[in-house]
Structure 1
Amino acid sequence: MLLKNNIPFKYVFGKIKYEVLLVAVYTLIIVILHDRFNLKHMAIPLSVPMIMGTVISLLLAFRSNQAYDRWWEARTIWGAIVNDSRSFTRQVLSFVDDSAYESEEINHFRERMVRRQIAWCYALSQSLRGLDGKDGLEKHISKREVAYVSRFANIPMALLDLHARDLNYALKKGWLNEFQQVTLDQTLSRLCDAMGKCERIKNTVFPATYSLYIHFAMNFFILLLPFALIEYFGLIEVPLVVAIAASFLLIEKMAIHLQDPFDNKPTDTPMTTISRNIERDLKQLLNDHHLPETTQNVDHKFYVM
């Protein structure tokens, strides 16, 4: 996710540098041809690109709004994951028979569940970005559990399965009553629903024809623009056309990046940062003082992942 401050111009310009260069060269060629050969017939009425520009602006605004809705839905889902992870940990730590509080086995059970929930958050973020969901799990769960989940294509699903198995085990041992087990299972169901929603966003492609038609229309508008301005501005129209084209191109690029919030780009939903915050909160509930390092305030970074 891009932060408010310190977004470098190089990053912004880098998204459209080749397109801007082509527009500048194209416009300069038209100006030279017009001035050298006095081709008055090259000019077209300014109203033609103005009408096209208005229509394209509305289409780009609608497209950007739809792309932002996808990005915001992804962020909302991860906000729910934060809440449910905290609730799950609180329930695991409190829904145990007080008479057995000092039991080493129960304390191990609690710690195992909480650390596995931390692992689930990291595994889900890795999987959504197309990376290896097993990467880094050994820091949070046992080698036996890592070996178990490695058999599955969907690592987060396998971790939730281990959660469910442990809840059943706790119920049979009498550490949880049936009501507590159902409540914890409902929390797991919400986590599973959140995972499914993220996968839906990840696997649902933004309509390609819609993007393609707007892209073609915008390029046609940029091609016409120099012919409409040539009689009014002369050589000055080169930076003017470049500025107008850059505005449209940047809006289109912004929409393209926002429509895929799990693509491992700076504009992503900051799943790693959110997972790190979850790890910090859950470890503090465990009285574990080995907290993860934060990268949020690094001066040279203008985004968080």
Structure 2
Amino acid sequence: MIVKPVLPFKYVFEEIKISLFVVLAIVLVTDIPVIFFSHHYSEIPVTIPTTLGIAISILISFKVNQSYDRWWEARKIWGAIVNDSRTLILQLKMYTESDNSMIKTMAYRQIAWCYTLGQSLRGQDPYENLKELISDEELKKLQDQKNVPLGILDLQTDSIKELYDKGDLDKFSRLQLEETMERLTASMGKCERIKNTVFPTTYRKGLHLAIYLFVIFLSLTEPLNLSIFIEVPVLLILSLVFLFLEKAAFRLQDPFENLPTDTPVTSISRTIDINIRQLIGETDLPKPIVAEDFYIM
């Protein structure tokens, strides 16, 4: 997640450099007939690029709104995961004896689940942080799971059933814990839905083509019939605005791609890690993840 109000120029340029080079090539090519065949050149009415520019603005606005909705939904889901993770441990402490070893086991599993869910959504190794949090026996069980976060939730539900069978939980307590597990499972499913629902690629290609057409038509209008040394920078700056907004929307539409615009699932998981360890009485806590650059992951 980008946390600084001003983006580095290098990052902005890296995001749109290919598109800017295409715009530069378009401007230079469209200026050839103007320079060498000006007596045969018929200028295009300025209303054409104006109308196209308005249409592009509307399309970009729509795409930015839709992309931000996806990003914000992902952020709200992880906010719910924070709350439900804390709730699970608080419920275990409230419903069972304080010296019950299962509280610490399930607390560590919940920490592991948060890290693993974030890594799975980003296409990273889901087992990376599990060795210190889950027993070797349970790790072996998870090796056969295609969906590791779901496997951890399965272990959690088995533990709840075990506590109930031993008499450590009454029926009401078990129902409350089951509701919390249900919410965690639903949050995982919502994240997977966002991850697996592809934003239509034809929409982006059409918008890109419209921006290039806008540059072509604008370069051939009378107001832009300037010296090439003035026209090129003007058109590059105008197109840069459209291109960067379109690229920003493109990045926001996929909040789990291990990019600076991601939902900060690693940072959120570390916060959950710290909170849960505090709840079970530990004092040796991991440090919060801080932004080392203009973004936090």
TM range (shorter): over 0.9
Secondary structure at 1:225 match in 2: helix
2:144 aligned partner: 151
Q: How many angstroms apart in 1 are the aligned matches of 2:65 and 2:224? A: 36
1:75 aligned partner: 75
Q: Compute the displacement of 1:29 (Å).
A: 4.1
Identify if the C-alpha distance between structure 1 residues 66 and 194 changes in structure 2 by more than 3 Å, giving closer, same or farther: same
2:265 aligned partner: 271
Assess if the C-alpha contact under 8 Å between 1:78 and 1:271 holds in 2: yes
Which one is further off, 39-48 or 254-263?
39-48
Q: How many angstroms apart in 1 are the aligned matches of 2:205 and 2:234? A: 26
Identify if the C-alpha distance between structure 1 residues 276 and 73 changes in structure 2 by more than 3 Å, giving closer, same or farther: same
Assess if the C-alpha contact under 8 Å between 1:43 and 1:227 holds in 2: yes
Secondary structure at 1:16 match in 2: helix
Q: How many angstroms apart in 2 are the aligned matches of 1:118 and 1:39? A: 73
Alignment deviations for residues 233-265 of structure 1 (CA, whole Å, 9 cap, x no partner): 332111110011111111111111111111111
Assess if the C-alpha contact under 8 Å between 1:24 and 1:239 holds in 2: no
Q: Structure 1: which 5+ runs fail to align? A: none
Assess if the C-alpha contact under 8 Å between 1:170 and 1:176 holds in 2: yes
Matches within 5 A, 1:241-280: 241-280=235-274
Matches within 5 A, 1:1-305: 1-5=1-5, 7-31=7-31, 33-39=33-39, 41-97=41-97, 101-102=98-99, 106=100, 108-228=101-221, 231-235=224-228, 236-298=230-292, 301-305=293-297
Q: How many angstroms apart in 2 are the aligned matches of 1:64 and 1:297? A: 25
Assess if the C-alpha contact under 8 Å between 1:229 and 1:237 holds in 2: no
Q: Compute the displacement of 1:229 (Å).
A: 5.1
Aligned positions, number: 296
Query: What is the root-mean-square deviation of aligned Cα atoms in Å?
Result: 1.6
Which one is further off, 244-253 or 271-280?
244-253
Which one is further off, 133-142 or 117-126?
133-142
Assess if the C-alpha contact under 8 Å between 1:118 and 1:282 holds in 2: yes
Q: How many angstroms apart in 1 are the aligned matches of 2:271 and 2:113? A: 13
* Equivalent position amino acid for 2:57 in 1: S
Secondary structure at 1:138 match in 2: coil
Secondary structure at 2:260 match in 1: coil
Q: How many angstroms apart in 2 are the aligned matches of 1:213 and 1:39? A: 34
Q: How many angstroms apart in 2 are the aligned matches of 1:229 and 1:266? A: 41
Structure 1: which 4+ aligned runs deviate by more than 3 Å?
A: 28-33, 229-232
What is the TM-score of this pair, normalised by structure 1? 0.92
Q: Compute the displacement of 1:166 (Å).
A: 0.4
Q: How many angstroms apart in 1 are the aligned matches of 2:111 and 2:222? A: 59
Alignment deviations for residues 258-295 of structure 1 (CA, whole Å, 9 cap, x no partner): 11111111111000000000001111111212222233
Assess if the C-alpha contact under 8 Å between 2:23 and 2:212 holds in 1: no
Assess if the C-alpha contact under 8 Å between 1:16 and 1:250 holds in 2: yes
Secondary structure at 1:15 match in 2: helix
Q: How many angstroms apart in 2 are the aligned matches of 1:289 and 1:166? A: 25
Q: How many angstroms apart in 1 are the aligned matches of 2:247 and 2:110? A: 36
* Equivalent position amino acid for 1:302 in 2: F
Assess if the C-alpha contact under 8 Å between 2:33 and 2:41 holds in 1: no
* Equivalent position amino acid for 1:35 in 2: I
Identify if the C-alpha distance between structure 1 residues 167 and 23 changes in structure 2 by more than 3 Å, giving closer, same or farther: same
Identify if the C-alpha distance between structure 1 residues 264 and 289 changes in structure 2 by more than 3 Å, giving closer, same or farther: same
Alignment deviations for residues 164-216 of structure 1 (CA, whole Å, 9 cap, x no partner): 00001101111111100110010000000000000001111112332332222
What is the TM-score of this pair, normalised by structure 2? 0.94
Assess if the C-alpha contact under 8 Å between 1:31 and 1:230 holds in 2: no
Q: How many angstroms apart in 2 are the aligned matches of 1:229 and 1:155? A: 62
Identify if the C-alpha distance between structure 1 residues 168 and 27 changes in structure 2 by more than 3 Å, giving closer, same or farther: same
